[in-house]
Structure 1
Amino acid sequence: MGRDEKQQPHGPAGKAALGAGWSHRHRDVSGGWLRPTVFGAVDGLVTNASLISGLGGGGVSAHTVVLTGVASLVAGAFSMGTGEFISVTNQNELVGAEVSLEQQMLTQFPAAEEEELAGYFRDYGADPQTAARMAAAVSRDPDIALQIHSRQELGVNPQELPSPLLAGVSSLFAFSAGAVVPLLPYLFGASSLALTLALTAVALAGGGMVVGRLTGRPVVWSGLRQLAFGALAIAVTYLVGHLIGSGA
């Protein structure tokens, strides 16, 4: 039964629950897009805002800020995209190797693996007889047996691994979108560090609030938390740039 085809409850209690707005449907959390997108956007935003802040603290020219900021955007975007693609690919390959090992164990030692399944069901509260019947029923379908073993022993579903391409592309474009925000005043000829910091603050708080909305967390708290961490990085970089620039 698919994720969007949840069986509806029956009986008086089930009808009452449905009438009250009960739903067992969930958002898809297996695609692997949210983490690289959020991480990429925040990384691009904080990295370039901090870099521009450091350059501004050092008193460099607007042309240098634009050149450095654009170079950081391009380099960082491809670095993030490549890193996400490779890391997710390597993780999936590791999972694949372990799942293959589990498949080999199921083929060579079916009785032992079935008893292991019964042990899982006993741990969930089934009595020994029920656990044995459940394990026997599951073991008749090798694919389902493999899924349950993988979930119990590896904590993954081998059929729902994240996409390396999706993670890489999401990270690349998200980093680019985040990194371009602090550059906007300079790209349009307004060489104002204050305007850059204001845009960055709005983007950090707004982005945090959007993520809070997606994850069900308090939106104001999520926005302020992201703003606070970003502001700390920007302030430290500005101070470093100012100290080095003053000593030049």
Structure 2
Amino acid sequence: MKPKMRNLTKAVTVISLCALLAACGNDKQARRGADTVKELALLAKSRLSGKKAEPTAQPDPVAMINAVLNEIPNAPLQFVLVEKTGGFAVTSIYGTNGNKVTWISPDRKSMTLESGVLTATRGFGGDLMSVEDGGAAALIASRSSGQAQKVYRFLNGEDETARFIVNCTIAQGERDVVTSGEITAATNVMTERCQSNEGFDFTNTYWIDDNRRMVQSVQWAGAGVGQLVFRRLRY
């Protein structure tokens, strides 16, 4: 295990900072936009309040973030939340390949982002194996509007890879100042609205700073996993 990963696991394990939480029954997908990500702590706590457990058993995501930032100085860190279940963790970088960065959680779930755009998951079940983005990531990073056809490849129940094709419209939205962990940044909000020929649709939302860095995002990871919320805590 890499030293930074070992430290992250230790930090999270000591104070029970990574929890798989029960869903409270409300689908957050319709609430795309700044409100979804600005108050990640409140979102996580609302999930927690839906779980039948004693208050003392409820981990505090704010305390989690602060503890890991203190425990692991200088390393890039990212908060990740699974909207459907309420599970959350602080992740660290496991590896890089060009613009692709793989982030890993203490329970060994991983997410690969290319310029901040999700391209793969591992360890979730029904994983996203790869994405052909049709130029979407470049449009998003440059904060440009446009069209792209994306091909998602998922692992199905028979361990076979299935293709899912969507047509996406990318548009630039409002300016928004984001404060997250040690980061404060002025950003443009980019929306990516995608629809398949069968009528299934989803929307991804990205906050891009003036250096083309993804500060936070809400991204679809598949029918099983649903939306993943990413929030950078430190570059």
Which TM-score tier does this pair reach, normalised by the shorter chain?
under 0.3
TM-score (norm 2): 0.22
TM-score (norm 1): 0.21
Structure with the higher strand share, 1 or 2? 2
Structure with the higher helix share, 1 or 2? 1
Where relative contact order (Cα < 8 A, 6+ residues apart) is larger, the structure is 1
